[in-house]
Every structure is written in structure tokens, then in C-alpha cells.
Amino acid sequence: MSGKPKLYYFDGRGKMESIRWLLAAAGVEFEEEFLETREQYEKLLQGGSLLFQQVPMVEIDGMKMVQTRAILSYIAAKYNLYGKDLKERALIDMYVGGTDDLMGFILMFPFLSAEDKEKQRAVIVQKATIRYFPAYEKVLKDHGQDFLVGNSFSWADVHLLEAILMVEEKSSDVLSGFPQLQAFKARISSVPTIKKFLEPGSQRKPVPDDKYVETVRRVLRMYYDIKAN
């Protein structure tokens, strides 16, 4: 077995995408096993790999980790993306929690009906421009540094850039009233490891399509309709 982390998930974004982002930001190469059949999923279940019977699951440092937040926290700490002290870690947790909340409005978007997608698109843009982006705009302005926490690149920066790009896919001009965030996006996108991850051919996943939705529904046996927030 190689020393690279191995990711078990679908060939798409979902909850695994933030893990891909953070590993890439840390410059860590990783392998992926894509779930395409119910049998693959049941094999993981029967083998005891999925503690809470769900993915994402990441094999790293001899562990089979589940729970997205736990995985991300471990990666951030292991690769020095979690601040220099307890106070910085608390700030990072707080900012990541905010971007998590915003991403939550987008996560189930591909599974909505066409009508609900239009409603949810408006909700996403409203939440971003009224609640979340003004908060990060103020943080960046008050902090006066290139990064959200301290003066070094952290998990909080990676997570916010991911969220910004996700919202821009729903409304391309969503940052028009946020100059601090525009500058932040340009800075963080230029970090060498992030720049590489944003280039074609990386392990970053595209906007989820119908094939991804059908695969997830089949493997997880999702026979119900998702409703908009």
C-alpha cells in the first residue's frame, strides 16, 4: 500500500470536495476509489470501514477516517494549516463553520427539481451577499492581512475560496460589491498549490451533472426527492 491518502467517494464533489481541496492546498498527492455500484458500498459497510455507515471515508496514516469535519481538522493540523495557537485555531474553526453553512445551501442543489433549483439559486445568492460575504469582507478589512487568520495561509482561506467559486457558479458577478473578497480570491488563487489544483487535469471535480446524481441515488438508494431550503 502506498503512503498516499486514499479517498472513497463518488466521482464528483459532494462532501469529499473540501477534503480534496485541503489535501491539494497542502501539496499532498492522494488516490481515489470511486463508488459506482451498490456492491462497492456494501463491501465497505460489511468490512467495517464505515463507522457510521456513510461516506466520505479517507484512509490516512493507518486510520479509516469518516466524518468530514474530523477528516478536515486532521489534515489541517497535520500539514500546518490550522494556525499557530489555540486562539488562531478557534478563529479558523469559526470561519470554516460559516463557509460550511454557506456550502450547505449548495450541496444538495444537483438533486433538486428544475423548479426548485431556480428557487435555491436565489436563496444561495441572497445568503451569500447578505449574511456570509459581508462578514468575511469585514474580517479581511479589519484584520488588514493577506489571510483570514494571523498572517499565514490556513484551512480557513482554502475553505472560503472554495465557497466563493461555488457561489460564483450560480451568479458570476456575486463579488461585485465586495472588493476585499475580490482581492482575496486573486491572492489565494495564486498560491502555487491552489493554482495547480485550479488548472485543468487536476483532481478537482466539475459541477455535478446528471450522471453524478444518478450514481449517488443508485448507490445510496435515494428514492426520495430532495426539497429546496
Percent of the chain with pLDDT over 90: 94
- Report yes or no on 228 lying in a domain: no
What's the mean pLDDT in 114-122? 94
pLDDT for position 227? 62
For the chain, give the mean pLDDT: 95
Let me know if residue 32 belongs to a domain.
yes
Evaluate if residue 1 carries a pLDDT over 50.
no
pLDDT tens digit sequence for 198-208: 999 999 999 99
Residue 229 lies in a domain: no
Q: Is 137 inside any structural domain? A: yes
Instruction: Specify the pLDDT at position 58.
Output: 98
Q: Are residues 145 and 212 in the same domain?
A: no
What was the pLDDT predicted at 229?
Answer: 59
The predicted pLDDT at position 17 comes to 98
53 lies in the same domain as 148: no
The pTM of the full predicted model, rounded to 2 decimals, is 0.95
Q: Indicate the number of domains in the chain.
A: 2
Instruction: Say if residue 73 is in the same domain as residue 145.
Output: no
pLDDT at 161: 98
CATH number at residue 72: 3.40.30.10
Residue 11 counted as domain residue: yes
Contact, 160 vs 185, CB < 8 A?
no
The CATH number of the domain where 166 resides is what?
1.20.1050.10
pLDDT at 224: 57
Contact 25, 72 (CB under 8 A): no
Q: What digits encode the pLDDT tens for the residues 59-103? A: 999 999 999 999 999 999 999 999 999 999 999 999 999 999 999
Helices (H), 66-154: 68-78, 86-107, 114-127, 133-143
At 154-181, the pLDDT tens digits run: 999 999 999 999 999 999 999 999 999 9
Instruction: Verify that 105 and 167 share a domain, yes or no.
Output: yes
Residue 227 lies in a domain: no
Same domain, 115 and 177: yes
Domain extent at residue 59: 6-79+198-220
CA distances in angstroms from 61 to 3, 64, 79, listed in the order given: 8, 9, 13
